[in-house]
Structure 1
């Protein structure tokens, strides 16, 4: 039995349109989401006080759902700062400097290392871990600073962050919005992430080598005049050489054990996140207490504060948007109450069923739309603030065409993060641009064509996978 569309459904649709419109205009959407939550609540309950409370309750619901993700990212950032401060990261990366003998090896070595490290530490900390050590080596090997920044961007903020296979922050957001298990979205994203990453990085490498041969791209292209790259921390007195070597081996071994445990014990979603987070805490404690000795207790707290500041800064804009989109599915009854018609399957599912009756959507139209919606949501430069919208729209379209929810959700996630997570939007490129001392706008221009080509190929591939 199909539920009829009510005022609640139309308000939800109108505010999805408003959120997309504000994102296109590069304006913040938190106020729009809050107004949308209030209007949906007051329409459902008729109570002003209850609706005001629902806004607050929606934030509590969103934070509760996202808390494990925020915590693990905060802890990982705190741990990565200890690695940088103590100089352990230099020792971890130093063996790979021997591989960087020419510009080709520099591009692929830095890129692949960035991807692997970003899976465990997230891209922004990974840029700091890699950049200060490998940038001078790459430049000596003939790869311009702009090429180094491209490699870190495309492999870290692109491939690693869009798949997010280990920490699972991105698939958690999109899966919740689409009403799917995290594991299903992860599985569906693997071929799409592989296709997107392969096409984009190969295309970028081709253009990079072509322009280097023609002289269009030189060592000074895009470099900010008078700037300096971020120096490595002075860590000479914190740990001895053998201690650095021990932790440089100890840290990757622990994370390798975590990955093995995930496969053997079939850990996904929250369980996998908790394993990585707990391991990161113990690494943080071990390094900090060893390096800072009597000041270890205070330094532990200081590192954690730095991590939490980063975590909530990244997810601050996400919480109001996630709160709004949780109303489309599982969060409605918890936040507002049982105010939907008894025949309703949830706002998003109702809209999808109604849309199927009005417009016979095809999987091709659905794939193109999800890529477009994902790219639009990334225009705010976060990459994460709008992926709940991508998941919600994917759920709506999948209900309409009757299949492909996981693939559409993964496609929207990939498009949103590649555009907004740090490869195309200039203000999201600042970490990599700063460490390489290049202009973020020039870096965005170099990334534009490879990413657009990658998105086009990935969208076509998704049509066959739905």
Structure 2
């Protein structure tokens, strides 16, 4: 395959992003410049290159909009509950169950994994964050350790195998020409291996020795902020503020005040009505978890029984976000006093501001990565509809196929690397038909067992990378947004545990298959 100059520019851009992340520098600047140069070199027009910078951001925003909105809806609900103190009453029973940081760590891990297998990680995270996360942090688990446990279980283990919903194995099987069950069974075992290694290393580094995390507990009133490179900037630690902040003294700054929107705190509500509302506090402390619990039950029953209509997996996030917004309205309109209408709108605006601040760094980076995938390249580079868009990322991988040695172990390592590269798309699934086909080509007629193993290795690697735990332009930003941990810090801390697990998974695959 002949590689064009634009292919090499794109590759240089990918390497620059990785280098900047390792060096703890902002990745926004190299992402924008790489988008400009790649489009300019490919189309020959500097004006198209300039326009692609905006187009890439627009396409990336569209792709991640559901994550933005779910995060915003849940933050809005938490903010509304906080005005009457319902969030503190709601988490008290969970706090009693989570007696220390070790129990909390493994409880978060287990619950996240089970729910993510059924609902996929982002909707599951929206269910978990308002209830389990604050209880875990109250008993001493650091936000970093909590975020890592959630990411390993959901964005890693559950999404890499996708064993229950089965989309990923079907995509891999479509290219590999083998039954999806063969790939799914292998991917499940491999995901367990990576998860066991990652959760164990994280426990040693950040739970048993929490000082290594160097991330403060989110119990402060002032907004915790992060920048694109992981430093201080202006991203509120949404869950930490909304669920864990203690009531501020008169005149203290409120996370919901200022440019984020006119949210009303407890003092405002009491001034409007002249009384405290313990009955409403108790009601919503019970109603919110009950409503989400009922939603979980209905979705599980729809998945495994015929008693209720099934819910499409893609609608899980919409149901969670919609329920959160309705509960936000219920709290605000019931307890908001004279300002109930403004309070409801203010909470929603605060949620949107917090979500976009938390995920803003992802947009230009995701836009550049997506330009390397044919499904998005045409829109980003504004190519005519009758022109076949380029596929820079897949072309680069395919061009290196001839250099892969014909050795079983080396083939597995090669498929691991290819899977991780495919995961750079930010989903981990776009290239699975390609890796499935590559697995079939590299198996050299060794039979479906070998093909399934190679495809499962690539799927597992792509899921862990792009699902994701290793790159910041994936749904990892949702975990970062809910926990208030800088997404760059989270990805960097997950690198060693996850990569160690991926390498061990290749050894396991070589031994048992």
- TM superposition score normalised by structure 1: 0.67
- Deviation of the 1:51 alpha carbon: 2.5
Count how many residue pairs are aligned between Structure 1 and Structure 2: 413
Taking structure 1 as reference, are residues 313 and 54 closer, same or farther at Cα in structure 2, changes over 3 Å only?
A: same
- What residue in structure 2 maps to residue 76 of structure 1? 74
Matches within 5 A, 1:26-425: 26-100=24-98, 105=103, 107-109=105-107, 112=110, 119=121, 129-130=131-132, 133=135, 138=139, 145=140, 152-162=146-156, 192-202=190-200, 230-233=244-247, 237=277, 239-258=280-299, 260-261=301-302, 265=310, 267-269=312-314, 271-328=315-372, 329-338=374-383, 346-360=391-405, 362-369=410-417, 388=426, 400-401=438-439, 402=441, 408=458, 410-415=460-465, 417-418=468-469
8 A Cα contact 1:84 1:129, kept in partner: no
Select 1:12's aligned residue among 10, 13, 22. Answer: 10
Supply the RMSD in Å over aligned alpha carbons.
5.1
Secondary structure of the 1:4 match is: coil
8 A Cα contact 1:370 1:408, kept in partner: yes
CA distance in 1, matches of 2:385, 2:284: 61
CA distance in 2, matches of 1:341, 1:258: 42
Structure 1 residues not aligned, in runs of 5+: 139-144, 212-216, 378-385, 435-440
8 A Cα contact 2:9 2:34, kept in partner: yes
1:96-145 alpha-carbon deviations (Å, 9 max, x no partner): 34445677645544654677799567769966755654555x4xxxxxx3
Taking structure 1 as reference, are residues 460 and 418 closer, same or farther at Cα in structure 2, changes over 3 Å only?
A: farther
Structure whose residues are more often helix by fraction: 1
- What residue in structure 2 maps to residue 381 of structure 1? none
- Deviation of the 1:337 alpha carbon: 4.8
8 A Cα contact 1:395 1:409, kept in partner: no
CA distance in 2, matches of 1:223, 1:39: 37
CA distance in 1, matches of 2:470, 2:351: 25
Taking structure 1 as reference, are residues 103 and 336 closer, same or farther at Cα in structure 2, changes over 3 Å only?
A: closer
- Deviation of the 1:59 alpha carbon: 1.9
Taking structure 1 as reference, are residues 389 and 358 closer, same or farther at Cα in structure 2, changes over 3 Å only?
A: farther
Secondary structure of the 2:426 match is: helix
- Deviation of the 1:57 alpha carbon: 1.9
Taking structure 1 as reference, are residues 462 and 8 closer, same or farther at Cα in structure 2, changes over 3 Å only?
A: farther
- Deviation of the 1:14 alpha carbon: 2.3
